[in-house]
């Protein structure tokens, strides 16, 4: 395995793979030519590595070979390609299998069209053995191609493919493997918003942490996974859905958190008139929420995610501390559907602090133009004031005097709304106070959260609860 300081060129990586007598397999590419295969052929010695290259560019040929899919550039198509090509290796080269580590590389890509009216993106995958006759591993990524020229997109696609194959065989640390995917080009040319590595040689890899690393390393601004912890690709999971998202630290989940989900979802269903299958509910954690000193505690991160997933929540990890950036991100997937962001009154106050928008030429007006794009709105959960004698809602919220008319416009036109039927009896629960009780090992904190959550915290010693697993 390489050290993190090895920096081979694309040609150097391809040549090193070609000269390795144990590595042997197939390259199948749809939609953007044979860019990865080209790098191996140009490096020389490709006959030592490549059993076959192919490109089923025509849709009819692609369906005949791999079977029909709902879309051609999708995860389903990629897996059909990997299944087909890898099975052919085992079937036709069974004698060579005694001494070779087989691989099947596949991609299905939509590059920039002639009129430049689309977004280039692609699914890329490698099914590979690290030992002869062993069960294979899968490494799957989704890339968004940002170059404004189809030839440049094809070039970078070829480099990503070589980096992926090389990294899977020569880099043992998954985090370093992720970093290596953008070797030999500026990483602002692509976005990688999904990474999944699984198989017998990588049973120790937690792909939720890999999703976190994508955001930490700046390879994407957001990534997500479902309640089973399975990594999801946002554009596929959120496409044309109505999206309800709760922003928070979830440290820990309390009855207030649960009611924010339940009461807001009831209202969201009512005003969207959407069926359950057309709604996605997200619990969102930002990098800021995961770190107070610039460092992210991965155990603490997984604790929060485990609790959310145990309650059936889909988790979004983002680097969008500003609400308007999150709204703009979600809007790209669901232009004609509804988006609602759930916040508390404390966040509502920060929403109207103009200092947050000094980096925008248009200031708060530009930010709100992006925040309330399309069908987006803010749903506000009530709180108790500092004196503990009054309920704070949208109705009695007071921004700075010179912003009152702006607030009135947004409130009266339902861009900002109260969440009806919120359970105000639990508003005395303060998550930071509950967290202190957990850390001290005190009793009584269990009453502030569902039994399932409390039992999980105790059994797994979450949030520094004094016990042993």
Which pLDDT score, from 0 to 100, does residue 293 have?
Answer: 67
DSSP letters spanning 405-446? HHHHHHHHTTSEEE-TT--GGGTT--HHHHHHHHHHT-SSGG
Residues of the chain with pLDDT under 50: 3-5
At 13 the pLDDT is 97
- The residues spanned by each domain of the chain are 10-205, 236-426
Q: Enter the pTM of the model.
A: 0.89
Q: How many CB atoms lie within 10 A of CB 14?
A: 29
pLDDT at 5 (0 to 100) = 46
- And the tokens for 194? 């999904």
Tokens 């949208």 -> residue: 394
The whole-number pLDDT of residue 113 equals 85
CB 350 within 8 A of CB 356: yes
Place of tokens 């009152």: 404
Q: H or E segment at 16?
A: helix 10-18
> Strand 339-344 to strand 314-318: parallel, antiparallel, or no bridges (unpaired)?
unpaired
pLDDT at position 296, please? 87
Q: Distance (Å, rounded) from C-alpha 74 to C-alpha 59? A: 14
Task: Please state whether the peptide bond connecting residue 330 to the residue before it is cis, i.e. omega within 30 degrees of 0.
Answer: no
Beta-strand ranges (E) seen in 91-189 are: 101-110, 121-128, 137-145
Give the dihedral of Cα atoms 265, 267, 273, 274; nearest 10 deg: -10
Residue 386, token pair as written in the block: 């500092």
Q: How much is the pLDDT for 112?
A: 86
CATH superfamily placement of domain 10-205: CinA-like (3.90.950.20)
Would you say 267 and 420 are in contact if contact means Cβ atoms under 8 Å apart? Answer: yes
Q: What is the pLDDT of residues 63-87, one digit of tens each?
A: 888 888 777 888 999 999 999 999 9
Write the CB contacts of 348 (distance below 8 Å, at least 6 apart in sequence).
378, 380, 394, 397, 416
Its CATH class, for the domain covering 236-426, is alpha beta
d(CA 287, CA 275): 32
Q: Give me the pLDDT at residue 4, please.
A: 46
Q: What is the structure's pLDDT at 453?
A: 94
Buried b / exposed e along 66-76 (16+ C-beta atoms within 10 A): beebeebbbbb
* Residue length of the chain: 469
């Amino acid at each position: 395995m390489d050290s993190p300081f090895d920096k081979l060129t694309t040609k150097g990586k391809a040549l090193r793979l070609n000269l390795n007598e144990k590595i042997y397999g197939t390259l199948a590419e749809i939609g953007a030519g044979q860019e990865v295969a080209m790098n191996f052929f140009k490096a020389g010695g490709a006959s030592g590595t490549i059993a076959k290259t192919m490109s089923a560019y025509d849709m009819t040929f692609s369906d005949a070979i791999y079977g029909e899919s709902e879309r051609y550039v999708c995860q389903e198509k990629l897996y059909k390609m990997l299944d087909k090509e890898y099975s052919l290796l085992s079937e036709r080269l069974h004698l060579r299998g005694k001494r070779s580590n087989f691989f099947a590389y596949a991609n299905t890509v939509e590059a920039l069209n002639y009129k430049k009216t689309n977004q280039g993106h692609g699914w890329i995958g490698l099914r590979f053995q690290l030992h002869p006759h062993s069960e294979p591993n899968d490494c799957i990524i989704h890339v968004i191609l940002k170059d404004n020229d189809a030839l440049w997109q094809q070039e970078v696609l070829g480099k990503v493919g070589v980096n992926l194959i090389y990294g899977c065989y020569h880099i043992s640390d998954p985090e370093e493997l992720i970093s290596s995917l953008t070797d030999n080009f500026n990483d602002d040319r692509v976005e990688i918003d999904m990474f999944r590595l699984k198989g017998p040689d990588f049973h120790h890899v937690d792909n939720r942490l890999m999703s976190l690393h994508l955001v930490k390393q700046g390879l994407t601004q957001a990534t997500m996974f479902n309640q089973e912890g399975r990594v999801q690709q946002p554009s596929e999971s959120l496409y044309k859905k109505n999206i309800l998202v709760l922003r928070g630290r979830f440290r820990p989940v309390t009855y207030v958190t649960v009611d924010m989900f339940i009461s807001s979802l009831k209202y969201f269903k009512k005003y969207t008139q959407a069926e359950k299958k057309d709604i996605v509910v997200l619990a969102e954690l930002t990098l800021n929420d995961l770190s107070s000193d610039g460092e992210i505690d991965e155990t603490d991160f997984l604790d929060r995610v485990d609790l959310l997933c145990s309650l059936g929540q889909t988790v979004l990890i983002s680097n969008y501390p500003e609400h308007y950036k999150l709204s703009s991100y979600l809007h790209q997937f669901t232009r004609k559907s509804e988006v609602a962001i759930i916040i508390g009154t404390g966040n509502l106050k920060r929403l109207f602090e103009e200092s947050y928008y000094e980096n925008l030429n248009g200031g708060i007006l530009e930010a709100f133009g992006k925040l309330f794009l399309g069908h987006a709105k803010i749903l506000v959960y009530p709180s108790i004031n500092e004196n503990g004698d009054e309920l704070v809602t949208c109705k009695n919220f007071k921004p700075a005097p010179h912003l009152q008319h702006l607030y009135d416009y947004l409130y009266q036109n339902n861009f900002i709304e109260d969440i009806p039927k919120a359970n105000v009896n639990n508003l005395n629960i303060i998550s930071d106070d509950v967290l202190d009780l957990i850390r001290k090992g005190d009793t009584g904190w269990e009453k502030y959260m569902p039994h399932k959550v409390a039992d999980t915290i105790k059994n797994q010693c979450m949030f520094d609860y004094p016990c042993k697993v």
